[in-house]
A = this chain, B = another copy of it.
Amino acid sequence: MTDDLLRYLESYLTDNRKKLFQKVLNERTKHFTVVLEDIYQPHNTSAVIRSCDIFGIQDVYTIENEFTNKISRHVARGSHKWVNIHRFKKDTDNTIPCLDHVQQQGYQLIATSPHIDSTYLPDFDISTKTAFIFGREKEGISDIIKERADGFLKIPMYGFTESLNISVAVAIILQYVTSKLKVSHLDWQLQPSEKREIYEHWVRKTIKNVDMIIDHYLERN
């Protein structure tokens, strides 16, 4: 998109909207991402996407083997419009293609499991670019993920109940690691080119009949 076209489209947005976009963009990161493997409850996927938006995670990857990633709009509260959701659903088993892709983006693969002897959240080193992988509600992460993971992470628990709901576990981890990230000296913010791309995407999402408006603009210019 040319600068001129972007300026033109921005004229359809209120100043408050543009300020909000910049404010949110400044808090977005690709230092962390979330991978969901075959979650079957739409309200769980939706709650995760909402937490990603709230804590500034721009990219979410969904592996859809048996279950399709449906969004519960009531739970997501519109957050799915502002987060990049990368769906892996073409094949019978989409776990490997997704993990390959995420690794190619430079992420280490950290699988979360309460049942594996692994790093406790307060001891987790945030300095490496990390994809946090969450498995199915009951079964947890698949064997493929157990084999491929660079490490494992768990939330310390001290009671009789031994597991947290997945949406709660994701929220706890994201809040914890992003609050550490924001006071760190790491270069966690988006690059200018990444910001620009997402900003354009958000501007387009905000304007009704945006394709028609762009066509008219291009005809006239």
Give me the interface of A with B, judged by CB distance under 8 Å: 20, 24, 27-28, 47, 50-56, 75, 77-79, 81-82, 121-122, 155-161, 163-165, 167-168, 171-172, 175-176, 178-179, 183
Q: How far is the CB of A132 from chain B (nearest CB, A)?
A: 15
Q: How far is the CB of A173 from chain B (nearest CB, A)?
A: 9
CA distance A175 to B156 in the complex (A): 9
Q: Known: A156-B179, A175-B155, A175-B176. Is A77-B167 also a contact (CB below 8 A)?
A: no
Closest B-chain residue to A170, C-beta based? B168
- Interchain CB contact (< 8 A) of A161 among B53, B167, B183: B53
Interface of A is mostly: helix
* A167 contacts across to B, CB distance below 8 A: 165, 168
* A28 contacts across to B, CB distance below 8 A: 158
- B122 contacts A179, CB within 8 Å? yes
- A56 contacts B159, CB within 8 Å? yes
Q: How far is the CB of A161 from chain B (nearest CB, A)?
A: 5
Chain B CB count within 10 A is highest, among A75, A160, A165, A179, for A160
* A172 contacts across to B, CB distance below 8 A: 171-172, 175
- A82 contacts B51, CB within 8 Å? no
Q: How far is the CB of A32 from chain B (nearest CB, A)?
A: 13
CA distance A82 to B162 in the complex (A): 13
A-B contacts, 19 of them at CB < 8 A, read A24-B158, A24-B159, A27-B158, A50-B161, A53-B159, A54-B157, A56-B159, A75-B165, A77-B161, A77-B163, A78-B161, A79-B160, A82-B159, A82-B160, A121-B175, A121-B179, A158-B178, A171-B172, A175-B176
* A81 contacts across to B, CB distance below 8 A: 160
Q: How far is the CB of A75 from chain B (nearest CB, A)?
A: 8
Given A168-B168, A171-B172, list of 8 further CB < 8 A pairs?
A27-B158, A28-B158, A50-B161, A53-B159, A55-B157, A55-B158, A75-B165, A121-B175
- B122 contacts A159, CB within 8 Å? no
